[in-house]
Copies of this chain bind each other. A is one copy, B any other.
Amino acid sequence: MSDFESRWVERPPHVREDDDLGALPAGFRAAGVAAGIKAEGLDLGLLVSDPHDTTSAVRFTASGVLAAPVQVTKERSELSRIRAVAANSGNANAATGRPGLDEAARMQGATSMCSGAPTEQVAVCSTGVIGVQLDGQKVTKGLLAARAELREDGALDFADAIKTTDILDKQVALLVDLPGGTVRLTAQAKGAGMIQPNFATMLCFVQTDAVVPAETCDLLLGVCVKRSFDRISVDGQLSTNDTAILQASGASGVAVEPESESELRFGEALDYLLRRLAVLMVRDGEGARRVGRVVVRGGVPEGVERVARAVANSPLVKTAIYGGDPNWGRIAQAIGAALPGTHPLVYDIRVEGALVCSGGYGTGTIAEFTGDEIEIEVTLPGDGAETEVFFSDLGHEYIHINADYTT
């Protein structure tokens, strides 16, 4: 039973926790091995959906600098029919030029060989240090070892193999009641830093045994990513490697049909799953003590978005929250910085529901910054636009982790 709780993420009534986190939905097998890419621990995962009519959808980072595996998967794979996924940690295979692309392509070929899926039905993912060549021999050997260990209950090892600086487990297993029967929905993700707009150094793999048309996979993954991984920020940094993959094996025989009650329910379950993982990533933000959610309302969508990002990414706001310091003035500063030239700007700030600043003017109410989850609401002039961003605070552990990452 999961002990996940957040007032910001509510489980729909037709979704239950599945106690067995290791077990994958019918049709899937997975493994995680130690391939020697990291100094120690599991670092290479293999995930296979055996049914030949498996459907899928994929989302990638928006960065202008794409890691080699992202490039290879994006350009050479059939994204609606991904059956096998190989993912390594310890090396991002990014900024590695032509040799890096060759290694990613070899990784794809070896995964095809080990999974039985055609090359174009294989996705490859990497996460770790940027700018260092990936050792292809280790990857190939590792994949052969992983092939021998593929199991229907291999999700835990697979999840372990994709971690980098993660401390919290980012695995979820759910049972979803649909009109035609119950399906399973599981996910393994990683991500704790280099996380921001339009999602993150995050890898997220989602599996279901429902029968889901590829177009529905794509629609639902797109919508749900926009409400989850697109709305979080640990440190405002967009990664070169982000990849999210949804695969549906169809092995349960229970159908998710377009524009039906089943699609609505499955979509709600996926939404819950991804928002829960997104909040977990922020909670696990490198060194985070507290988690914030900033909600901004106003008349101009771009302004609302800019203010939300400015507050969520302000090191001054983040350190104040880390220190439990009721310095809401830094929120006012971030609002002003996000909207240059708009003076006189009339705005309200609420912290944990209490109005601390009304019409741009401190009310004398003390901002409460000491809980585990801090909710900040900003109201700008006008209405009709609203957005939210979840974010980590900024503390000593972030410096520890990031000042000494490669050495």
Contacts and interface: CB of A to CB of B under 8 A. Distances in A.
Contacts of A133: 362
Contact of A325 (B315, B342, B404): B404
18 contacts: A64-B339, A64-B341, A65-B339, A92-B329, A95-B329, A95-B357, A96-B361, A97-B361, A129-B329, A130-B330, A131-B332, A198-B340, A235-B315, A239-B333, A239-B337, A319-B403, A320-B405, A322-B403
A337 B238 contact: yes
A321 to B, nearest CB: 9
A339 B193 CA distance: 20
Interface of A: 62-66, 71, 92, 94-100, 129-133, 193-194, 196, 198, 235-240, 313-316, 319-320, 322-330, 332-345, 347, 356-357, 359-362, 394-396, 398-399, 402-407
A357 B347 CA distance: 45
Nearest to A338: B64
Given A63-B333, A95-B332, A71 B320 contact: no
Contacts of A332: 65, 94-95, 130-131, 240
Contacts of A94: 329, 332-333
B399 A394 contact: yes
Given A98-B361, A193-B316, A323-B405, 18 more contacts: A62-B341, A64-B335, A64-B338, A64-B342, A65-B332, A65-B335, A65-B336, A71-B344, A94-B333, A95-B362, A97-B360, A129-B329, A130-B329, A131-B357, A237-B316, A315-B402, A327-B406, A396-B399
Given A96-B362, A362-B96, A66 B344 contact: yes
Nearest to A98: B361
A395 B405 contact: no
A261 B80 CA distance: 69
Contact of A337 (B63, B326, B398): B63
A124 to B, nearest CB: 17
A130 B95 contact: no
Contacts of A129: 327, 329
Contacts of A347: 65
